[in-house]
Structure 1
């Protein structure tokens, strides 16, 4: 993908090991995030190579948040879609509301006084809504089509076009691609490689006014992805330390980002030690281990339920089994070796 304007990159030296609040983006609420050098280098590498960035890692390690980080630091507009087993590659370009069109057809048959013709009322473009890649490739065209879609339902306002979106460019998040059929990643790369894709009654091509979109794709490794797809991506593996000291340090750093001045450092360390011990127990039984997401949930719960540090420390021990030990096997004694 070749953009017509120079690409801006993230200043890694200035941003690494700092944290900030990612603002509300495309319906997602504000969230604190800590920037690390490896993830920022991965974003820059994908931009420079003009390739999608495939982000691999355990659930709850902040894979999806990396796309929001890129949009924030690059001052780009943001679009996203969580995909699943029913997703088709065309859903990333646009959606077609066939059910509503059928309902309108039934209504049109009873409304004899309708001033518009049935053909005009049931025009397929009235039921087409732009998907994340349509917005990223052609923001102005997507905004016009979205206004047409909204007008059909009587909406007074369409989806707002982000400020200077065509000039600034987009970051697109495609979340959990491992849940889809292999036709989705293959079809996605075909569209990105050709820099164009088909929509009803037309084609959408890469933007002329701004840079090509950065596409960030996440996987929880639930399904093997096509080799050809992986070869054409930059791949960033979010690491989870295996050593006790390293894991505790990483978790505590994340805890400081989210609970600075709200929780005592001793609580952050105590919760991190619990996570390490319960990760070890889960792995010994072949179960998915708790991680960063469960760690933050545990801290959030004790922050809201407790008053003093002593209260919260006691709550950590009480709530631990709900936040970190989610499988029945973890509540049973480990079997002794034969």
Structure 2
């Protein structure tokens, strides 16, 4: 039976609040804006929605240099000029020099796709505003060919942000918003069990206790995330670390912490705890 509501997947554990936000955004046909600290599964959410609903995923990775136009289409005027100079055929066919961007690709899909606009806040401040019409009306105009590209089936749009910049109010009004809270210990245990089938319970509990103790140290600048605890467990298993040493020594702390200052803070707190 075809799934029409997002209920998470075997590999993606979602809270009830997150699943509700996804399904409301789909029902209202509005973009879902997802915020949350790094490592909370924002990007993976779009992948999970695609798998759960059996829909193709189109990913538009945003960079500091990305312009809204890049997502619509690119007109290769240089190649057309080159072809005209060498007398190549088809120069009058402008369509030949038009390449759709990720937004254009999603609009032109015969079937509904999941469109991920990843890390929208990396671009300049005008970027979100430049997409207002296209996200609202699900269409854009190509003046070179005098053609309007309109979505045949409205894509499911997921937009992620790391809150590096404030997004414009006009953009926010058009989105459903959800902040992914960092998983509590109970939910984190579920997430870990997805990645490790037969993890010893004592090891799991020691890892969780140590991990959340580190996260609550106020001086830690970049707190370890979900991806780091998964990697850390793998490192502990590969290293054959004695379970009783985990909280006492925090072996392989460089897997969890990525700043020299944070490693120093951790060592200081380990010393105090002893």
Normalising by the smaller structure, the TM-score range is 0.7 to 0.9
Matches within 5 A, 1:47-86: 47-86=26-65
Out of 222-231 and 266-275, give the one that drifted further.
Answer: 266-275
Distance in 1 separating the partners of 2:254 and 2:92: 52
Structure 1 residues 192 and 108, CA gap change in structure 2 (3 angstroms): closer
Distance in 1 separating the partners of 2:132 and 2:50: 21
Q: Does 1:254 align with 2:191?
A: yes
**Counterpart in 1 of 2:254?**
322
Q: Does 1:206 align with 2:206?
A: no
Q: C-alpha displacement at 1:322, in angstroms?
A: 0.7
Distance in 2 separating the partners of 1:290 and 1:299: 13
Distance in 2 separating the partners of 1:108 and 1:231: 46
Structure 1 residues 318 and 239, CA gap change in structure 2 (3 angstroms): closer
Q: C-alpha displacement at 1:315, in angstroms?
A: 7.7
The one-character-per-residue Cα deviations of 1:258-314 (angstroms, maximum 9, x if unpaired) are: 1122x3232222222222122122xx22612112121112123334x246xx55776
Structure 1 residues 318 and 96, CA gap change in structure 2 (3 angstroms): farther
Q: Does 1:268 align with 2:204?
A: yes
What SS does the aligned partner of 1:274 have? helix
Matches within 5 A, 1:1-338: 9-10=4-5, 15=7, 19-20=9-10, 32-96=11-75, 101=79, 105=82, 117-118=87-88, 120=90, 125-139=95-109, 166=110, 168-199=111-142, 200-201=144-145, 202-207=147-152, 211-240=153-182, 247-261=184-198, 263-281=199-217, 284-285=218-219, 287-303=221-237, 305-306=238-239, 317=249, 319-330=251-262, 331-332=264-265, 333=268
Q: Say if 2:222 and 2:257, in contact at 8 Å, map to a contact too.
A: no
Q: Say if 2:211 and 2:229, in contact at 8 Å, map to a contact too.
A: yes
Segments of 5+ residues of structure 1 without an aligned counterpart are 1-7, 21-31, 112-116, 140-165, 242-246
Q: Structure 2-normalised TM-score?
A: 0.83
Q: Say if 1:306 and 1:312, in contact at 8 Å, map to a contact too.
A: no
Structure 1 residues 203 and 298, CA gap change in structure 2 (3 angstroms): same
The one-character-per-residue Cα deviations of 1:114-158 (angstroms, maximum 9, x if unpaired) are: xxx33636965444432222122112xxxxxxxxxxxxxxxxxxx
What SS does the aligned partner of 1:203 have? strand
Segments of 5+ residues of structure 2 without an aligned counterpart are 270-274
Structure 1 residues 95 and 255, CA gap change in structure 2 (3 angstroms): farther
